[in-house]
C-alpha cells in the first residue's frame, strides 16, 4: 500500500528523541480471536539500511476507520490513502534487539476506533528512552479494525493475505477481519463498554504474561511470519518496573488493569474516558495514577469521576495541557495540515509537537518516580505538579 498520487507528504510522525534507535515488530500469539496481538517497540541495534513500516498496515484498516467515522468505504479509502498511504512509522522494522541491561516495560492500550499503530509517536519516544513498549490491538470490537485467523476447510482454498505483514506461518490459516461494532438502536451503552473494558484489561494482562514468557526464555510462537528473533529479548526486561498506559478508552483500560493486576506498578491515563468503568472498582486501585488531560475534551462529570479515585495514601496526579484536543495524542495530529486538522478536530491551538513533547516529558518524570528508576527524567518533575495547567 502506498501513495503514488504525488501528494506532498512533508508531515510525518516525529522520531524518538532518546539515546536509543527504535525497532518494532508485530507479535500474534494464538491464532484465534482469543489470542493476543500487539505491536512491539524496543531499543534496537543501530542500522542505516532499515525498512520503515507503513503507519496504516493495509486497506482493511482504512475501511474500519471509514465505518467508525460513518463514511462511505470506497470514497474514504481513496481519501485516506491519499492523505496517509505513504506515511511511515519512524522505527526500524524487525531490527535486531539491542541488549543493554534490563529495560522497564509499558503496555499501551488504544482508544475507541483506533488500533495498534495509531499511537506510534508516543510508543517510539518511550522506546527511544529505554522502554520496551507493547501496543495491544484489542479484539473487543472497539478497534476500527483488527484480524485473527481460522483454520480453513479445504487445502488450497486459503485467500491471499491482504497485508504483507499479516502472513501466517501456517498454510492452514486464513485471516478473518473484525470491525468496530456500533451501538444498536436503543441499546444501553454502559453494559457494552463495561464488558469491553474488562476484556481490554484481560488482553493487556495476557500481553504482559507473554512478555514474562519471552523474558524467561520460554519459546513463544508468533503466528505471523516474522524475521525478528524473540529469543534475543531473553532476560532483557525489568519486570519489577512495569507501567500501563492508554488513551481515552485506553485510559479507562489503565484503571481496570491497575485494579486487576498488581504487576502494573503505576498507570498513565491520557485524556481518559471514564464512562466504561464501574466505580465499585475504584477502592481497589492502589497504584499511582497520572491523568494527562486535553483542554477541549474533558467535561465536569468526567473529571468528577477521575477525582473519585483520589486517595490520601496512593499518589494521584492530574494535569491539563492548554490548547490541546482529544486527538492531540494519536498520530493523526502530525499527519494533517492546519485546515483539515482543525476541521476534523485532530489539532488544537498548540503546536502538536510541543503538546506531545510536554505529555511525554511529564510521563517520563512520573515513570521515573513511581518505577524507582535511576534516570534524569526528574528534570521534568515540574510538569507533573498537582492541578497544573501547562
Nearest-angstrom CA–CA distance, 280 and 270: 22
**Do residues 347 and 336 touch, judged by C-beta distance below 8 A?**
yes
Q: Tell me the CA distances in angstroms from 267 to 273, 281, 371, one per residue in order.
A: 15, 15, 10
**Do residues 329 and 119 touch, judged by C-beta distance below 8 A?**
yes
Nearest-angstrom CA–CA distance, 120 and 18: 15
Q: To 10 degrees, what angle do helices 73-84 and 59-68 make?
A: 120
Set 110, 138, 326, 370: catalytic member: 326
C-alpha dihedral sign at 178, 179, 183, 188: positive
Nearest-angstrom CA–CA distance, 352 and 329: 9
Set 142, 143, 144, 248: catalytic member: 248
Our answer to whether residue 326 is catalytic in this structure is: yes
Distance of CA 171 to the CA centre of its chain: 30
DSSP for 40-79? EEEEE---SS-PPPBSS-SHHHHHHHHHHTT--HHHHHHH
DSSP alpha helix (H) spans, 232-290: 249-260
**Do residues 159 and 177 touch, judged by C-beta distance below 8 A?**
no
Residue with cell 493486576: 261
In this structure, what C-alpha cell is assigned to residue 366? 512520573
**Do residues 88 and 52 touch, judged by C-beta distance below 8 A?**
yes
Set 31, 271, 294, 359: catalytic member: 271
DSSP alpha helix (H) spans, the chain: 59-68, 73-84, 120-128, 189-216, 249-260, 300-307, 338-343, 352-370
**In b/e form, how buried is each residue of 23-40, taking b as 16+ CB within 10 angstroms?**
bbbbbbbebeeebbbbbb
Catalytic machinery residues: 248, 271, 326
Amino acid at each position: 500500500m502506498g501513495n503514488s498520487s504525488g501528494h506532498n507528504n512533508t508531515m510525518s510522525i516525529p522520531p524518538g528523541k532518546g539515546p536509543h534507535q527504535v525497532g518494532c515488530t508485530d507479535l500474534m500469539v494464538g491464532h484465534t480471536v482469543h489470542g493476543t496481538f500487539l505491536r512491539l517497540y524496543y531499543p534496537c541495534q543501530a542500522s542505516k539500511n532499515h525498512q520503515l513500516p507503513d503507519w496504516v498496515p493495509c486497506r482493511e484498516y482504512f475501511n474500519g476507520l471509514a465505518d467508525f467515522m460513518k463514511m462511505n468505504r470506497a470514497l474514504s479509502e481513496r481519501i485516506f490513502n491519499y492523505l496517509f498511504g505513504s506515511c511511515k512509522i519512524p522505527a526500524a522494522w524487525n531490527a535486531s534487539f539491542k541488549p543493554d541491561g534490563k529495560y522497564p516495560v509499558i503496555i499501551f492500550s488504544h482508544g475507541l476506533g483506533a488500533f495498534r499503530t495509531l499511537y506510534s509517536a508516543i510508543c517510539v519516544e518511550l522506546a527511544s528512552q529505554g522502554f520496551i513498549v507493547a501496543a495491544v490491538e484489542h479484539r473487543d470490537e472497539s478497534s476500527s479494525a483488527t484480524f485473527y485467523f481460522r483454520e480453513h476447510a479445504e487445502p488450497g482454498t486459503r485467500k491471499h493475505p491482504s497485508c504483507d505483514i499479516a502472513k501466517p506461518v501456517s498454510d492452514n490459516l486464513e485471516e478473518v477481519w473484525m470491525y468496530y461494532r456500533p451501538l444498536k438502536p436503543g441499546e444501553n451503552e454502559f453494559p457494552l463498554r463495561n464488558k469491553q473494558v474488562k476484556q481490554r484489561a484481560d488482553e493487556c494482562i495476557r500481553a504482559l504474561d507473554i512478555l514474562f514468557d519471552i523474558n524467561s526464555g520460554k519459546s513463544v510462537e508468533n503466528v505471523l511470519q516474522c524475521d525478528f528473533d524473540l529469543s534475543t529479548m531473553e532476560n532483557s526486561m525489568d519486570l519489577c518496573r512495569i507501567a500501563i498506559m492508554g488513551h481515552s478508552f485506553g485510559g479507562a483500560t489503565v484503571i481496570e488493569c491497575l485494579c486487576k493486576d498488581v504487576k502494573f506498578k503505576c498507570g498513565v491515563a491520557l485524556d481518559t474516558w471514564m464512562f466504561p468503568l464501574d466505580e465499585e472498582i475504584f477502592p481497589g486501585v492502589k497504584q499511582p495514577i497520572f491523568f494527562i488531560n486535553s483542554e477541549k475534551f474533558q467535561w465536569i462529570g468526567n473529571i468528577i469521576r477521575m477525582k473519585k479515585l483520589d486517595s490520601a495514601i496512593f499518589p494521584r496526579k492530574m494535569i491539563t495541557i492548554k490548547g490541546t484536543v482529544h486527538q492531540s495524542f494519536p498520530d493523526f495530529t502530525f499527519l494533517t495540515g492546519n485546515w483539515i486538522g482543525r476541521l476534523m478536530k485532530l489539532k488544537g491551538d498548540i503546536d502538536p509537537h510541543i503538546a506531545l513533547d510536554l505529555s511525554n516529558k511529564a510521563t517520563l518524570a512520573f515513570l521515573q518516580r513511581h518505577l524507582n528508576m535511576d534516570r534524569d527524567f526528574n528534570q521534568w518533575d515540574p510538569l507533573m505538579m498537582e492541578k497544573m495547567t501547562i
